Amino acid sequence: MSATADVPARTTPARRRSGSWDGLILLVLALLAWQGMHLYVGEAALASPVKTLTFLAGFLRGPVFWGHFAATLAAFGWALLIGAVGGIVIGLVLGERRFAGDVAEPILAGLYAIPKVTLYPMILLIFGLGMSAKVAFGVIHGIIPIILFTMGAVKTISPVLLRAARAMRLTRRQTALEVLVPAVLPEILTGLRIGFSLTFLGVLIGEMFASQRGLGFLIVNGINLHNVPMTTGMILVIVLFALAANGLLLWLHRRFGGPSATPEHA
């Protein structure tokens, strides 16, 4: 995913002001495109922005939405937790053991590139219909980039840093906390950001296929029942959620990534 994670550089206030204008213009353009698309394809395929927002205003007040939202959020939360902890631990171990890491890297990269959707029936057969299948599917989407980025971060730590730590006679604990963690944090954050998006994708696809709960189910259900505002509204909710989460993670990256953050790598 070499091109997917460009972290915009720090901006000056003047640039930021023109940036927020740009954002506004983009938003207006997106709304116009949406309205135009609606006029072009008709009421039966895509609801207009006004109608979608009116529908959402009512739907978000009822209990139905929040039940499905909670189901998606719970599956996503577990999948992300398992993927993040497992990915970072495996990545640290593989990064430290050169040979094992070199053996694993192309295998993991190969697994990363296969269309994992096709494996979903197998997950369903193993875990059964329901929550655990969705979680497992989210994990297999998200864990590999987290492993790869963590591994890469540990492998490329500059030996100078470790030598400096030894020269200053830092304890193991101090070395880990003061040297290793800050050195690998930016890359791990990038891995987590990509893992976050892919885990979300995995959980939603899981819900769109063979599920009775969650936002992904609501989209497919809206199509099947010809409830166009429902489908359009749920897509809007998911897009906004994804953009907000990604914005937050980008901000975290800039805040804690430090000067050594390497956007090209992502």
Partner 1 sequence: MKLKREHALTLARLGVIGGAVLLVEALCRSGVINPLTLLPPSRMAADLFGLLASGQIAHDMAFTAGTIGAALVLSIALGFGLGVLVHALPRVRRALDPLLASYYSVPFFIFYPLLVAIFGLNAFPLVVLGMAFAAPAMMMSTMAGLDRIPRVLLRVARAHRLSRVETVRQIVLPSAAPYLFTGMRLALAYTFIGVIAGEFIMASSGIGHAIAYAYEGFDNNTMYALMLLVLVVVTVINMSLHAYETRLAKRRARA
- Residues in contact with partner 1 by CB under 8 A are 1-8, 15, 18-19, 22-23, 25-26, 41, 44-46, 99, 102-104, 106-107, 110, 113-122, 124-126, 193-194, 196-197, 200-201, 204-205, 208-209, 216, 219-220, 222-223, 228, 231-232, 234-235, 238-239, 242-243, 245-247, 250, 264
Determine the residue type at 134: K
Nearest distance, CB of residue 210 and partner 1, angstroms? 8
The smaller minimum CB distance to partner 1, of residues 126 and 176, is found at: 126
Task: Please tell me whether residue 95 adopts helix, strand or coil conformation.
Answer: helix
Distance CA 47, CA 209 (A): 23
Nearest distance, CB of residue 180 and partner 1, angstroms? 26
The smaller minimum CB distance to partner 1, of residues 47 and 179, is found at: 47
Distance CA 124, CA 255 (A): 40
The smaller minimum CB distance to partner 1, of residues 157 and 238, is found at: 238
The smaller minimum CB distance to partner 1, of residues 154 and 203, is found at: 203
Output the CA angle 207-209-213, nearest 5 degrees.
35
The smaller minimum CB distance to partner 1, of residues 92 and 116, is found at: 116
Nearest distance, CB of residue 244 and partner 1, angstroms? 10
42 DSSP assignment: -
Nearest distance, CB of residue 17 and partner 1, angstroms? 12
Chain position carrying tokens 């009421």: 43
Axis-axis angle for helices 98-113, 63-96 (nearest 10): 140
Phi, psi torsion values for 132, nearest 5 degrees: -65, -30
The smaller minimum CB distance to partner 1, of residues 24 and 177, is found at: 24
Nearest distance, CB of residue 149 and partner 1, angstroms? 15
Nearest distance, CB of residue 213 and partner 1, angstroms? 16
CA-wise closest residue to 80 among 192, 185, 184? 192
**List of residues 6+ apart from 218 with CB closer than 8 A:** 65, 68, 230, 231, 234
